[in-house]
Amino acid sequence: MTALLVALGASVGAPARLLAGRVLDSRTHWGTLLVNLVGSAFLGWLVGHGVDGRPLTLLGTGFCGAFTTYSAMAVQSVDRGGLRGAAYAVGSVLGCLAVAWAGYQLG
């Protein structure tokens, strides 16, 4: 059951991230950044709201986990390189931390 819920959430999350990337990513990866921010805020809210068990497996582990990505952010920032790449990486991590915290407080 857990695997099915994870798979179900991921089957929506991963293609949604690809779509955001295709529409919004250019020299700066706005799509990936937006996806990471939205997913982090949503997971923070879920946990803050006390969501657990199967709903958290579906929405948190499955959807948010597949929707957001660490690997693409790391590769994109190294590919950009320099100050721009560093700003993107640090901005992503701090931004996601801030919205996850805000989501947790609101939840």
Partner 1 sequence: MTPPRLGVALGAAAAGGILGSLARAGLTSWLPVSDAFPWTVFWINVVGSAVLASVPALAAVRRTPWLGVFLGTGVLGGFTTMSTASEQSVALFEHHHVLTGVFYCAGTLAAAVAAVAAVGRWIPAPDRVAAEAAGVDE
Question: Minimum Å distance from CB 77 to partner 1?
Answer: 6
Question: Minimum Å distance from CB 4 to partner 1?
Answer: 10
Could you give the 3-state DSSP secondary structure of residue 69? coil
**Residue 51 interacts with partner 1 (CB under 8 A): yes or no:** no
On whether the CB atoms of residues 30 and 24 are closer than 8 A, the answer is: yes
What is the spatial distance between Cα 15 and Cα 98, in angstroms, rounded to a whole number? 25
Question: Minimum Å distance from CB 2 to partner 1?
Answer: 7
**Residue 11 interacts with partner 1 (CB under 8 A): yes or no:** yes
What is the spatial distance between Cα 24 and Cα 34, in angstroms, rounded to a whole number? 9
**Residue 87 interacts with partner 1 (CB under 8 A): yes or no:** no
